[in-house]
Amino acid sequence: MIERKIEISLRTYENLCEMTPKDNSFDYTINFLINYYLDNEEFSDEDAEYYNRQIKKF
């Protein structure tokens, strides 16, 4: 795995510490959250584009 540095707030770091099981890494937790978000999006990209066009009409 390639290591990269990212800057996060202390609060975010503490939240990650609480959420990450002891036998896993932050990478595991971050990917879990990303996948959860993508799997549970409220709108598809097409829906979002449609709604944004409608909003611009107002």
pLDDT per residue as tens digits for the range 7-19: 999 999 999 999 9
Residue percentage of the chain with pLDDT more than 90: 66
Instruction: Delimit the domains of the chain by residue range.
Output: 10-57
* Contact assessment for residue 27 and residue 1, using Cβ atoms and an 8 Å cutoff: yes
Average pLDDT score, the chain: 91
What's residue 55's pLDDT?
93
Q: Distance between CA 21 and CA 29 in Å, rounded?
A: 8
Q: Which of 46, 8, 56, 41 is nearest to 20 (CA)?
A: 8
pLDDT per residue as tens digits for the range 8-56: 999 999 999 999 999 999 999 999 999 999 888 787 888 888 999 999 9
Which amino acid is present at 19?
A: M
